[in-house]
């Protein structure tokens, strides 16, 4: 799946199903990336590859899946990333100096549970964030948006297969959960996708 993930998700689904063009997500990374960045749930490393520049001098990648880490590690080798296989739903027992930015894109909609339970991931990432650090990312919503036919079909399929668990995910619960944890929260919806930044 990893070899077709970028084409399927970032090439086709973002535009035709989720109605959030990939360039919006790339732009979130261009604005949000600091020189000292942690990426949680890196997948294929698509956004860091597109948005990362020469100033990115510390990059740490986390993922539960070893194959994702290896693939993203190879793709992003120019940034000499450190890779850690971790489950974001459990406390992260890594002794790492704080980061200035943390990316969390297209991870929440995969996780089981309510939004409150999913946001435990943020509680586990927060100790790794420096004082002025920002968390940014995106997630595909399951409620409170108007999915087109393609989006409805994909939501049905992915939720049935357990690839997504986002039937109850809405922007209000995400926004509320982030506001409970951060002083500054910016959140907006583009099609079926919530894009957020919290600091």
Ligand X SMILES: C[S@@+](CC[C@H](N)C(=O)[O-])C[C@H]1O[C@@H](n2cnc3c(N)ncnc32)[C@H](O)[C@@H]1O
The contact mask relative to ligand X for 46-65 (x = CB under 6 A, - = no) is x----------------xxx
Instruction: Assess 123 for contact with ligand X (CB under 6 A).
Output: no
Instruction: Assess 107 for contact with ligand X (CB under 6 A).
Output: yes
Instruction: Assess 33 for contact with ligand X (CB under 6 A).
Output: no
Q: Tokens 């704080």 — which residue?
A: 98
Q: How far is the CB of 12 from ligand X (least distance, A)?
A: 13
Q: How far is the CB of 175 from ligand X (least distance, A)?
A: 20
57 vs 87 by CB, closer to ligand X: 87
Residue with the shortest CB distance to ligand X: 43
Instruction: Assess 145 for contact with ligand X (CB under 6 A).
Output: no
- Cβ contact 125:99 at 8 Å: no
Polymer length of the chain: 199
Residues near 164 by beta carbon (within 8 Å), at least 6 away in sequence? 109, 110, 140, 142, 155, 158
CA–CA dist 47, 3 (Å, integer): 15
CA–CA dist 126, 144 (Å, integer): 28
59 vs 88 by CB, closer to ligand X: 88
CA–CA dist 30, 195 (Å, integer): 14
Interface ranges with ligand X (CB under 6 A): 41-44, 46, 63-65, 68, 87-89, 105-107, 110-111
């Amino acid at each position: 799946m990893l070899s077709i993930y970028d084409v399927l998700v970032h090439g086709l689904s973002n535009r035709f199903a989720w109605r959030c063009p990939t360039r919006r997500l790339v732009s979130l990374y261009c604005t949000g990336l600091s020189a000292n960045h942690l990426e949680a749930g890196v997948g294929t490393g698509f956004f860091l590859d597109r948005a990362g520049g020469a100033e990115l001098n510390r990059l740490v990648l986390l993922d539960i899946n070893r194959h994702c880490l290896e693939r993203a590690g190879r793709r992003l080798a120019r940034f000499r990333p450190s890779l850690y296989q971790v489950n974001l739903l459990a406390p992260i027992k890594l002794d790492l100096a704080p980061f200035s930015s943390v990316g969390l894109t297209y991870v929440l909609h995969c996780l089981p549970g309510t939004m409150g339970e999913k946001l435990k991931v943020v509680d586990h990432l927060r100790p790794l964030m420096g004082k002025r650090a920002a968390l940014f990312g995106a997630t595909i919503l399951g409620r409170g948006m108007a999915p087109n036919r393609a989006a409805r079909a994909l939501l049905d399929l992915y939720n049935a297969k357990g690839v997504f668990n986002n039937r109850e995910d809405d922007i209000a619960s995400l926004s509320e959960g982030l506001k409970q944890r951060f002083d500054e929260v910016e959140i907006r919806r583009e099609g079926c996708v919530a894009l957020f930044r919290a600091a």
